[in-house]
Amino acid sequence: MTSKKASKQTFESSLKRLEEIVEALEHGDVPLDEAVTLYEEGIRLSKECAEKLKATELRIRKLTKDINGQFELTELDEE
């Protein structure tokens, strides 16, 4: 569950961070070494995002409740 939360932050916040980086680079008051550092971070983030988009299979699971009313996710039976 925590890993899901972490990955959830990655995609949306990665894109947000990328926009910030572009913004910072565009404003021109960033020294060169900092610009290169930002660029490195940007390339890494955009690579991560692109990687996520490579998924080819849609994952689908079913929400069920056990006898105690606790939620469980089970794989969907494929017909």
Partner 1 sequence: MLFPISETEKNVLTVTELTRRIKQSLEQAYPRVYLQGEISNFRQHTSGHLYFTLKDEGAQISAVLWRSRAALLMFQPQDGMKVIARGSITVYPPRGNYQIDVDQLQPLGIGELQLAFERLKQQLAAEGLFDEAHKKPLPEYPERIGIITSETGAALQDMRSVLARRFPAVEVVLRPVQVQGVGAADDIAEAIEDMDRYGEVDVLIIGRGGGSLEDLWAFNEEKVARAIYASRIPTVSAVGHEIDFSIADFVADLRAPTPSAAAEMVVRDRADILDVLRNICYTMRANLEDRVQEGRGTVQTILNSYSFNRPFDMVRQYGQRVDELDRTLGTSFSHRLRLDLQRHQAVRDRLEALHPASVLKRGYSMVRKDGKIISSAHKLKEGDRATIQFYDGDVPTTVRK
Q: Which of 3, 58, 66, 68 binds partner 1 (CB under 8 A)?
A: 58
Task: Decide if 62 contacts 73 (C-beta within 8 A).
Answer: yes
Using alpha carbons only, give the angle 19, 13, 6 rounded to the nearest 5 degrees: 160
Task: Decide if 73 contacts 63 (C-beta within 8 A).
Answer: yes
Provide the minimum distance between the beta carbon of 6 and partner 1 in the complex, in angstroms, as a whole number. Answer: 11
Residues that bind partner 1 (CB under 8 A): 1, 4, 7-8, 11-12, 15, 18-19, 21-22, 25-26, 28, 30, 32, 35-36, 38-40, 42-44, 46-47, 49-53, 55-63, 65, 71, 73, 76, 79
